[in-house]
Amino acid sequence: MLIDVYTDFPERLQPKVVVYAGEAHLPLTISRRRMHNDGLLLAFEDYLNPEQVGQFRNQILYSSRADAPKLADGEYYQFELLGLLVEDESGKELGRITEVIETGANDVYVVTDAKGHEVLLPAIHDVVLDLDMDKKLMRVHLLPGLLEAEE
């Protein structure tokens, strides 16, 4: 099966590694792999022909959170940021992170409030003041014009 690779750690997709297919998270054990252009060709144990593997077409393959490589201090996976409460430096609640947009320069956090209004915050040191993963809280400094553009 040819897959598009979205992970920053494609080297962990090796034979004997278990991945999970689709929203049902059906476990699949990789039996073979090889690079193919910008993608990766994977074969799975117990799925021996294209018809059997075809059921996984256009589905996302997930890995276990427990198998995720450790990141350096201050680095987080995108899924860990989703749902974090965001407040400005005065303590005013802005909403929760609902999406992380990858751009060429830096990520952008989409913060959505209870009314569905969105604020886009660049993931830069001038904006992100503090991140407390235990409290699930991000404190930010709003650069001039960030909120006015959304109103």
Whole-number Å distance between alpha carbons of 99 and 81: 9
Tokens of 41: 């060709």
Write down all domains in the chain, each with its CATH number in brackets: 2-67 (no CATH), 78-150 (2.30.30.240)
Beta strand spans in 18-76 (E): 18-21, 26-36, 39-44, 61-62
Mean pLDDT by 10 residues, the chain (151 residues): 85 92 93 90 92 90 85 88 96 96 90 94 94 96 68 47
- Put simply, whether the predicted model's pTM sits higher than 0.75 gets the answer no
Tokens of 130: 């503090």
Residue recorded with tokens 């993608």: 39
